[in-house]
Structure 1
Amino acid sequence: MRTLTVDGADLAWDDNRPVLTGVTVTARPGEVLAVTGTSGAGKSTLLSAMAGLLRPAGGKVLVDDEPLTDRDHAVSLGVVLIPQDNGLAAILTAAENISVAVIATGGTPAEARRRTAEALDPLGLSGQANQLIEELSGGQQQRTAIARGLALRGDVLLADEITSELDAANRQRVMELLRAEAARGAAVVFATHDPEAAAACDRELHLADGEAIWARP
């Protein structure tokens, strides 16, 4: 399993003023790291940098000791991102969205079918497997995106506000699944504004005023 490190990173979109400056944090195998902060504090920005979607203006992002160059590089190193906007293809079914992703990352069709079923079931979506994404509720779409991320079985799992549309029971179930990913050996980073969810994580990095401060190191 891999370790992801952000080392003294300044993060900005285009040539704008940095959203975050001097961020240093390590996501370690076997633990769940919470990234907290108010809306606009930079949680999605930090996860974008960790996922290879945003190149730091200063500092660097490393997977083990290898500098991350872009999203394709991150995928090749086993960095999985579950984005806040779910990123699902509306014209595909829930199962197809997951299977396509598994195959794209090297899984066989048989593995894709098995992993898809295994990912949908604990999220209560087995009955919606063959429904188009556009036919699902917002909460069901969010759970499908979570299932897709879990099916990829990454070494690093980045989850961006993935419980925002879920009820209490499903939020609890998702936290249990993230914990299971950490138990498998993955490094899990969970961006959330939910204090209860953050408290259930091993460590907490709080973002405020452009800086990253350890709430629980």
Structure 2
Amino acid sequence: MTTLTVETAEFAYGGGEPVLRGVTVTARAGELLAVTGTSGAGKTTLLSAMAGLLAPRTGTVGVDGAPLGDRDRAVARGVVLIPQENGLAAILTAAENIAVAVIATGGTPADARRRTAESLEALGLSGQAGQLIDELSGGQQQRTAIARGLALRAEVLLADEVTSELDAANRQKVLDLLRAEADRGAAVVLATHDPDTAAACDRELHLADGTATWVRNPGSA
């Protein structure tokens, strides 16, 4: 089972001041890890680094003891990011967005059809499969992005504020699906500003003033 570890890492953009300093955290298989903090605290920065999109200025980011590398290497290691801004292609339908991603990561056309149908059904979007992204509401777009993430069968699933536009029923549905991913053996990291969502996770890392502090970390030494 895969673990992703950030060790005494500092993150910054270009030559700017550090966004985060001295961060150490391990995303463990079979668990939900909440990353909390106000807007601008660095939640997206940390998940971007875990996804291979941002290299640490100092420290390390690794998977199972090996350097994570860039985004291509992270994808090859099964690291899936569901971005805050959904990242969907507006010229494709909901189903096409998911199927293309499955095929791009090595799935067969048959895999793509099956996983697309299953993930859309799980999010209550079977009826929107053939709609273009621009024809969907904000909440439906967010659920489509989640469905795409689930269809990729991640080893490490990074979900950035994926419940922000959802009502209570759909938020609980998403949390149940993320829990199912952890039960399958994935390491799930969920960035959120919602206390109830964070409380549903196994551990909580809080970001503030450029540093990371454990709110809940059961099983730590």
Could you state the TM-score of these two structures normalised by the residue count of structure 2?
A: 0.98
CA positional deviation for 1:68:
1.4
CA positional deviation for 1:18:
0.3
Q: Deviation digits for residues 85-141 of structure 1, max 9, x if unmatched?
A: 000000000000000000000000001000000000011100000000011011000
For residues 143 and 66 of structure 1, the distance between their equivalents in structure 2, rounded to whole angstroms, comes to: 32
Q: Match for residue 193 of structure 1?
A: 193
For residues 14 and 97 of structure 2, the distance between their equivalents in structure 1, rounded to whole angstroms, comes to: 31
Q: Match for residue 67 of structure 1?
A: 67
Give the 3-state SS of the residue equivalent to 2:6 in structure 1: strand
Give the 3-state SS of the residue equivalent to 1:131 in structure 2: coil
For the pair 1:184 / 2:171, whether they are aligned, the reply is: no
5+ residue gaps, structure 2, are none
CA positional deviation for 1:3:
0.3
Alpha-carbon RMSD across the aligned residues, in angstroms, is: 0.4
Give the 3-state SS of the residue equivalent to 1:91 in structure 2: coil
Q: Amino acid of the residue matched to residue 12 of structure 1?
A: A
Give the 3-state SS of the residue equivalent to 1:88 in structure 2: coil
For residues 189 and 9 of structure 1, the distance between their equivalents in structure 2, rounded to whole angstroms, comes to: 17
Q: How does 1:199-210 map to 2 (within 5 A)?
A: 199-210=199-210
Q: Match for residue 27 of structure 2?
A: 27
For residues 69 and 116 of structure 1, the distance between their equivalents in structure 2, rounded to whole angstroms, comes to: 29
Q: Match for residue 120 of structure 2?
A: 120
Q: Match for residue 129 of structure 1?
A: 129
Q: Match for residue 82 of structure 2?
A: 82
For residues 169 and 194 of structure 2, the distance between their equivalents in structure 1, rounded to whole angstroms, comes to: 14
Aligned-pair identity in percent equals 78
For residues 80 and 45 of structure 1, the distance between their equivalents in structure 2, rounded to whole angstroms, comes to: 15
Give the 3-state SS of the residue equivalent to 2:25 in structure 1: strand
Q: Amino acid of the residue matched to residue 64 of structure 2?
A: D
For residues 115 and 122 of structure 1, the distance between their equivalents in structure 2, rounded to whole angstroms, comes to: 10
CA positional deviation for 1:17:
0.2
For residues 6 and 96 of structure 1, the distance between their equivalents in structure 2, rounded to whole angstroms, comes to: 34
Q: Deviation digits for residues 22-69 of structure 1, max 9, x if unmatched?
A: 000000000000000000000000000000000000001001011011
Number of aligned positions between the proteins: 217
For residues 15 and 118 of structure 2, the distance between their equivalents in structure 1, rounded to whole angstroms, comes to: 43
Q: Amino acid of the residue matched to residue 34 of structure 2?
A: A
Could you state the TM-score of these two structures normalised by the residue count of structure 1?
A: 0.99
5+ residue gaps, structure 1, are none
